[in-house]
């Protein structure tokens, strides 16, 4: 019984981590076809901004987290304009050379990997040079839940609720707002969307900013629990990529299901066999899932649905 | 259908039949450089590389030979990705497995014959690993995008696994895998049996690697420009159409993937012999991304691009010290991938061709411009 | 037009002068001349180990500056070859070769992690280069070229474990990083537990990349140990302390890795590191006169580096080993490496900051290790650190158990406790 409660908390912890790590990446990869290898560094920006706002500027934690999100979203906007779509360099080159020099990175998986890899090098080293090898850390708020000899950090369990909230919010944004409709139209068929008057450029820009903002949120939320070193992003990267791939094309549902499945496996195996096997189990599950469901979970669901419609 | 001699400039009509015939094997739409000018330049470059150790000394030559060793890794990715369309993050898996295999076998059989055997077993190990992984993925119908992710995840699994092989139970014969600390005391490479053998170190190692690299490059050029090479490119461009023409696409992809594994394995064995050391660091994400970076910047659809970019980028990375080193490398990557997305070598080639055709003798339509875009 | 000519002539003249100066400057960078010697210091200032490598570099520079200001070694000024290896073992290999072959360094200090040491040891042994490895490590290296002057796991754990058994009880739970250092340290915990009538009731090994410790914390709680021995390593593992504090886990923790190297007690919010006992030979806070008095080691370090965040364990190891090298050269009367090695093996002592007044630490010639003055340092709820125990712990594994005697027999191996102790196996 007690171990069941342990397992529940560990699962919620793992679920939250995977979902929050993957959220921003799923949006950017799913909608723009860009693999952002600097995703971990965006998380780092959010965590650093939050920590600096809280410790150096003295803002209360929730306000500091908001600062973290906004700073990262703003940074994402800049990156999108300069690197991903190349609008700013193109505008400049148009003026001086009379032609565009950069193609947007949308749907160019390999090229976006190289570009964002370069970006991540610049970000990590840039932060190291300007802010040093580490920052002082914010303490974890909210105490703990104690039960018959065990205890779990309340904050970490609460993150699971936050993760669900993020998913719900993303779902709302993508299905109920103007922007969401435009974004889904652009994913489905960019040319038609543009022909129908959708400003696809602005849609991409907003999408990247939202994805970056979500990464910043992850950083902000986890800032009180991890060490603030410039390379902190790399500990999120594996889970993020694995979840995005296992989840499949549907951003919200895929991330939720992937978080649930991988979180459950990781938590259960860690609980029984230790963290080493938990990690191996996570990675092996990913490989097996991709082998048997190459389109991810939601892709598989889609195929089933199509097949059933055809059969009916 | 382009003929075998397409791409040979009219200026080479004066070559004797035998030379033209020999050259035609290495030229074609799938590689850069199909003129006499190119081959002269190539010869000059090879001679310059051969003279290099005498100019800079054995220490610098030894340092440079590491970059040449990496060139095999770059070539392996170029073959698999640029020519068969499979972006694999896992080339370092075969690199590492081959290196460790070489280490284990050569530490246990530290005679020249044993080391020669270790060399062969190592390369074979890399190829075998690629065959197994490739079979799993390709015949499982995994799409190319997810092949990338699976190979990346395999790299991480191997890293996590190898990093904890520290205990004494992880010893194969005399060779302790060493876990995170790695396996030191791997002997230098040697070929031959007993007395009639050569051991390679520093200068001799440099020449061995250079020789192997030139041979491999030419061999791959021949392969890629042959009929089989066209099938590879067809698979890269459009799998379904190629399948409809009756080609066994899965078999081609698996064969190419295995070849890539062998090349990566060769790189890994040479690497282990160069540093006399092997560690799980080769399975880290940072190192696994490097081949992708080299090949993207150089031009993945050209073998020359893979080689030059690998050597160039690693030389640059290695030479830059100080705080700003990473920043400079990052900026360079950004600039090159955004400005020259096809890679440097194709761009140089295109510019050169354009310059040559300005008022010079008319060239036959370059089939290469259509296929290897 | 005359202006233009003068300008051009002036330009030519000044560029010639510039070129001349540049060429003159180019003549250096080679073997030790008659009045200089060259030391190689390869310490990480970027990459994964920058946090712990940077103080090592700084303290080395401090020692060298002090020695140079004092007249140098035997009248010779010290020149330094200190590029940044960027926590990259390949760079280490390449820079080690450069240091030995191009710069002809008279002695080399290099590397933070054991992996780095093992990556360059083949080169060191091939070239017979005098090499100081200054990080705390698992112990067992018996190599004629290597002077491992950092504390070994047996020394560190051997200082804190007996103290905690006496204070809290015999039931121990071990958590360690899942690689060589962590696994070997866990073996030492078992050996020491046996020697102190204690028992290891549970062990867990955590991959270096792991930063989530929920299940680990629950397992510790379910085992109900008297105290925990922690050999966690790296930035990811530092999160454990924050997470255990927020989960309300307050069991005392003994460690060889935390606080002294990465100054977690300064970086983390209290009370994350409360009740943590570090067994170390040096931390910025150890209460010796040489360390904390006015003009002591700490003062001198911050005077030279006012922006440094901390003066860590390994920094002191670099510092005193450079001074030991100086003593050895002066004793040998030459910088030739075989003679210096012999001098080092004759039993050099030095009044290091880690030792109280009147005491010095000794480099054991037979094993190339140091008999350290060990401290048990405890952090309280406010992260104030104080010493609760201290004594000299000599190196015993190589000298007594293995029988490594480098003055008699040249060796190049690393020994592990498993081969010698039943308990560790």
- The CATH number of residue A302's host domain is 1.10.3470
What is the average pLDDT value for chain B, to the nearest integer? 82
pTM of the predicted model as reported, rounded to 2 decimal places = 0.83
The neighbours of chain B, by the rule of 3 or more Cβ pairs under 8 Å, are A, C
Strands C141-143 and C412-414: antiparallel
Residue written as token pair 């003929």: B3
Please calculate the CA angle A276-A279-A283 and round it to the nearest 5 degrees: 140
Beta bridge partners of C141: C414
- List the single residue in C206, C222, C267 with the smallest CB-CB distance to A275: C206
- List the single residue in A128, A232, A275 with the smallest CB-CB distance to C215: A275
- Taking the Cβ of residue B93 and every Cβ of chain A, the question of whether any pair is shorter than 8 Å is answered with no
- What's the rounded mean pLDDT across residues C345-361? 91
Count of Cβ atoms closer than 10 Å to residue C87 Cβ: 22
Distance (Å) of CA C216 to CA A224, B9, B92, B125, C47: 19, 69, 32, 37, 28
- The architecture in CATH of the region C36-152+287-373+394-412 reads 3-Layer(aba) Sandwich (3.40)
- Rounded to a whole number of angstroms, the CA Rg of chain C reads 24
Distance (Å) of CA B238 to CA A34, A95, B143, B235, B246: 22, 39, 13, 5, 13
Element (H, E) at B104: helix B91-108
Contact indicator for C228, C175 with CB cutoff of 8 Å: yes
Strand positions, DSSP E, B196-304: 196-199
- Taking the Cβ of residue A156 and every Cβ of chain C, the question of whether any pair is shorter than 8 Å is answered with yes
Q: For chain C, what are the domain ranges?
A: 36-152+287-373+394-412, 154-280
> Is A142 domain-assigned?
no
A237 contact residues in B (CB cutoff 8 A):
285
> Is A173 domain-assigned?
yes
Confidence of residue C425 (pLDDT cuts 50, 70, 90): low
**Can you tell me whether residue C269 is helix, strand or coil?**
coil
| Nearest-angstrom CA–CA distance, A100 and A90 | 5
- What's the rounded mean pLDDT across residues B116-144? 88
For the record, the structure tokens of B218 come out as 């030419």
CB contact under 8 A, C209 and A279: yes
Quick one: closest CA in B to C103, which residue?
B59
- Taking the Cβ of residue B296 and every Cβ of chain A, the question of whether any pair is shorter than 8 Å is answered with yes
Q: Pick from C97, C108, C103: which is nearest to C134 by CA?
A: C108
A276 contact residues in C (CB cutoff 8 A):
178, 205-207
| Nearest-angstrom CA–CA distance, C258 and C230 | 8
Q: Phi and psi at residue B87, in whole multiples of 5°? A: -80, 110
Residue written as token pair 């912890």: A13
* Grouped pLDDT means (10 residues each) for chain A, 312 residues: 77 90 87 84 94 88 92 93 85 81 79 84 89 82 76 84 89 86 80 84 87 93 88 84 82 87 90 83 83 75 81 62
C114 contact residues in B (CB cutoff 8 A):
180-181
Buried b (16+ CB within 10 A) or exposed e, C349-372: ebbbbbbeeeeebbbbbbbbbbbb
A117 contact residues in B (CB cutoff 8 A):
289, 292-293, 330, 333
* A250 vs C312 pLDDT, higher one: C312
Q: Is the pLDDT of residue B277 over 80?
A: yes
Q: Is the pLDDT of residue C327 over 90?
A: yes
What is the average pLDDT value for chain C, to the nearest integer? 86
- What's the rounded mean pLDDT across residues C29-33? 46
User: Residue A307: exposed, middle, or buried by beta-carbon count in 10 A (0-12, 13-18, 19+)?
Assistant: exposed
Q: Taking every pair of C-alpha atoms in chain A, what is the biggest distance, in angstroms?
A: 73
| Nearest-angstrom CA–CA distance, C116 and B104 | 20
CB contact under 8 A, B338 and A86: yes
CB contact under 8 A, C246 and A153: yes
> Is A144 domain-assigned?
no
C217 contact residues in A (CB cutoff 8 A):
152
Task: Lowest mean pLDDT of A111-120, C135-144, C332-341, name the range.
Answer: A111-120
Q: What is the pLDDT of residue C17?
A: 38
Q: What is the ipTM, given to two decimal places?
A: 0.80
Contact indicator for A113, B149 with CB cutoff of 8 Å: no
Strands C253-255 and C276-280: parallel
Confidence of residue C7 (pLDDT cuts 50, 70, 90): very low
C266 contact residues in A (CB cutoff 8 A):
136
Q: C154-280: what CATH class?
A: alpha beta
A238 contact residues in B (CB cutoff 8 A):
153, 156
- With an 8 Å Cβ cutoff, the interface of chain A facing chain B consists of 37, 83, 86, 89, 101-103, 105, 108-111, 113-115, 117-122, 124-126, 128-129, 234, 237-238, 241-242, 245, 276, 279-280, 283-284, 286-287, 290-292, 294-295
Beta bridge partners of A207: none
Among residues of chain C, what percentage have pLDDT more than 90? 59
Confidence of residue C284 (pLDDT cuts 50, 70, 90): very high
Q: What is the pLDDT of residue B26?
A: 78
CB contact under 8 A, B338 and A242: no
Confidence of residue C267 (pLDDT cuts 50, 70, 90): confident
List, as one string, the DSSP characters of B38-59: HHHHHHHHHHHHHHHHHHH-HH
Domain count, chain A: 1
Q: Provide the terminal-to-terminal Cα distance of chain C, rounded to the nearest Å.
A: 89
**Can you tell me whether residue C364 is helix, strand or coil?**
strand
List, as one string, the DSSP characters of B311-362: HHHHHHHHH--STTHHHHHHHHHHHHHHH-TT-HHHHHHHHHHHHHHTTSSP
**Between A and B, how many CB-CB pairs are < 8 A?**
117
- What's the rounded mean pLDDT across residues C6-12? 41
For the record, the structure tokens of A210 come out as 């939202």
Confidence of residue B17 (pLDDT cuts 50, 70, 90): low
Range of the domain at A11: 2-130+151-223+236-311
Task: Lowest mean pLDDT of B218-222, B225-229, C9-13, C219-223, name the range.
Answer: C9-13
Eight-class DSSP state of A59: -
- Taking the Cβ of residue C379 and every Cβ of chain A, the question of whether any pair is shorter than 8 Å is answered with no
């Amino acid at each position: 019984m007690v171990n069941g409660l342990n397992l529940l908390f560990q699962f919620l912890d793992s679920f939250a981590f995977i979902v929050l790590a993957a959220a921003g990446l799923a949006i950017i990869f799913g909608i723009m076809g860009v693999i952002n290898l600097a995703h971990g560094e965006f998380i780092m920006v959010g965590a650093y901004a939050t920590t600096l706002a809280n410790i150096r500027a003295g803002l209360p934690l929730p306000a500091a987290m908001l600062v973290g999100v906004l700073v990262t979203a703003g940074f994402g906007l800049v990156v999108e304009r300069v690197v991903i779509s190349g609008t700013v360099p193109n505008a400049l080159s148009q003026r001086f050379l009379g032609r565009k020099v950069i193609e947007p990175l949308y749907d160019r998986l390999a090229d976006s990997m190289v570009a964002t890899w370069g970006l991540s090098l610049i970000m990590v080293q840039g932060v190291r040079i300007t802010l040093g090898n580490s920052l002082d850390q914010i303490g974890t708020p909210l105490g703990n839940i104690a039960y018959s000899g065990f205890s779990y950090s309340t904050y970490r369990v609460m993150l699971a609720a936050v993760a669900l909230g993020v998913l719900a919010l993303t779902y709302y944004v993508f299905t109920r707002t103007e922007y969401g409709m435009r974004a889904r139209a652009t994913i489905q068929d960019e040319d038609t969307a543009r022909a129908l008057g959708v400003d696809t450029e602005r849609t991409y820009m907003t999408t990247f900013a939202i994805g970056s903002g979500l990464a910043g949120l992850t950083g902000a939320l986890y800032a009180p629990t991890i060490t603030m070193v410039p390379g902190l992003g790399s500990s999120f990267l594996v889970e993020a990529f694995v979840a995005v791939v296992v989840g499949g094309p549907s951003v919200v549902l895929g991330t939720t299901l992937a978080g649930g499945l991988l979180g459950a496996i990781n938590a259960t195996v860690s609980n029984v066999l230790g963290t080493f096997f938990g990690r191996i189990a996570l990675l092996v599950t990913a490989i097996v899932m991709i082998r048997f469901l190459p389109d991810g979970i939601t892709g598989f669901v889609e195929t089933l649905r199509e097949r059933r419609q055809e059969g009916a | 259908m382009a003929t075998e001699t397409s791409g040979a400039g009219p200026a080479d009509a004066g070559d004797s039949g035998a030379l033209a015939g020999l050259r035609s094997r290495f030229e074609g739409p799938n590689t850069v450089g199909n003129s006499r000018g190119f081959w002269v330049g190539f010869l000059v470059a090879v001679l310059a590389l051969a003279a290099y150790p005498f100019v800079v000394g054995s220490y610098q030559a030894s340092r440079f030979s590491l970059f040449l060793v990496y060139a095999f890794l770059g070539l392996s990715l170029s073959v698999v990705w640029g020519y068969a369309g499979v972006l694999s993050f896992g080339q370092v898996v075969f690199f590492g497995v081959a290196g460790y295999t070489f280490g284990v076998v050569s530490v246990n059989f530290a005679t020249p014959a044993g080391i020669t055997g270790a060399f062969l077993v190592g390369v074979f190990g890399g190829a075998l690993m690629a065959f197994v992984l490739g079979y799993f993925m390709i015949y499982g119908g995994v799409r190319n995008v997810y092949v990338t992710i699976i190979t990346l995840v395999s790299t991480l699994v191997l890293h996590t696994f190898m990093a904890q092989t520290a205990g004494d139970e992880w010893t194969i014969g005399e060779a302790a895998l060493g876990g995170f600390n790695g396996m030191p005391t791997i002997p230098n490479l040697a070929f031959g049996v007993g007395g009639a053998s050569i051991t390679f170190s520093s200068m001799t190692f440099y020449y061995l690697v250079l020789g192997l690299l030139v041979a491999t490059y030419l061999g791959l050029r021949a392969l890629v420009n042959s009929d089989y090479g066209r099938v590879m490119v067809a698979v890269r461009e459009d799998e379904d159409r190629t399948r409809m023409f009756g080609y066994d696409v899965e078999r081609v992809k698996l064969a190419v993937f295995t070849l890539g594994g062998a090349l990566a394995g060769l790189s890994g064995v040479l690497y282990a012999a160069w540093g006399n050391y092997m560690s799980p660091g080769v399975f880290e994400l940072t190192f696994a991304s490097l081949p992708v970076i080299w090949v993207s910047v150089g031009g993945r659809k050209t073998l020359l691009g893979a080689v030059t970019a690998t050597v160039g980028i690693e030389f640059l990375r290695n030479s830059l010290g100080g705080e700003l080193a990473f920043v400079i490398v990052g900026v360079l990557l950004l600039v090159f991938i955004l400005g020259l997305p096809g890679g440097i070598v194709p761009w140089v080639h295109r510019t050169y061709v354009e310059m040559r055709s300005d008022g010079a003798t008319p060239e036959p339509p370059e089939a290469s411009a259509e296929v290897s875009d | 037009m005359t202006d233009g000519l003068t300008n051009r002539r002036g330009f030519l003249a000044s560029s010639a002068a510039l070129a001349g100066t540049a060429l003159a400057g180019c003549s250096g960078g080679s073997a030790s001349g008659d009045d200089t010697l060259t030391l190689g210091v390869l310490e990480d200032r970027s990459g994964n180990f920058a946090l712990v490598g940077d103080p090592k570099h700084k303290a080395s520079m401090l020692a060298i500056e002090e020695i140079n200001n004092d007249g140098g070694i035997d009248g010779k000024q010290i020149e330094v070859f200190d590029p940044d290896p960027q926590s990259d073992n390949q760079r280490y290999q390449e820079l080690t070769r450069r240091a030995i072959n191009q710069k002809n360094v008279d002695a080399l200090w290099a590397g933070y992690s054991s992996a780095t040491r093992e990556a360059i040891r083949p080169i060191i042994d091939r070239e017979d280069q005098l090499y100081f490895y200054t990080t705390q490590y698992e112990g067992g290296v018996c190599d004629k070229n290597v002077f491992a002057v950092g504390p070994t796991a047996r020394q560190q754990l051997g200082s804190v474990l007996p103290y905690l058994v006496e204070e809290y009880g015999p039931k121990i739970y071990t958590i360690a990083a899942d690689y060589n250092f962590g696994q070997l340290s866990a073996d030492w915990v078992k050996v020491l537990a046996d020697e102190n009538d204690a028992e290891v009731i549970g062990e867990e090994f955590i991959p270096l990349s792991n930063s989530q410790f929920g299940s680990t914390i629950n397992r510790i709680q379910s085992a109900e140990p008297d105290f925990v021995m922690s050999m966690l390593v790296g930035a990811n593992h530092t999160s454990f302390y924050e997470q255990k504090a927020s989960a309300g886990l307050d069991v005392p923790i003994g460690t060889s890795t935390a606080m002294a190297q990465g100054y977690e007690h300064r970086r983390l919010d209290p009370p994350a590191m409360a009740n943590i006992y570090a067994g170390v030979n040096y931390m910025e806070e150890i209460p010796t006169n040489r360390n904390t008095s006015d003009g002591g080691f700490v003062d001198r370090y911050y005077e030279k580096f006012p922006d440094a965040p901390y003066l860590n364990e390994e920094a002191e190891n670099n510092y005193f080993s450079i001074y030991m090298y100086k003593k050895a050269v002066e004793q040998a009367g030459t910088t030739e490496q075989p003679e210096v090695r012999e001098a080092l093996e004759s039993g050099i002592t030095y009044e290091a900051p880690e030792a109280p007044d009147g005491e010095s630490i000794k480099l054991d010639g037979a094993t190339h290790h140091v008999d350290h003055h060990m401290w048990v340092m405890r952090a309280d709820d406010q992260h104030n650190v104080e010493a609760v125990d201290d004594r000299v712990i000599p190196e015993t594994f190589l000298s007594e158990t293995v029988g490594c005697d480098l003055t008699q027999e040249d060796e190049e191996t690393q020994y592990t406790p498993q081969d010698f102790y039943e308990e560790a196996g």
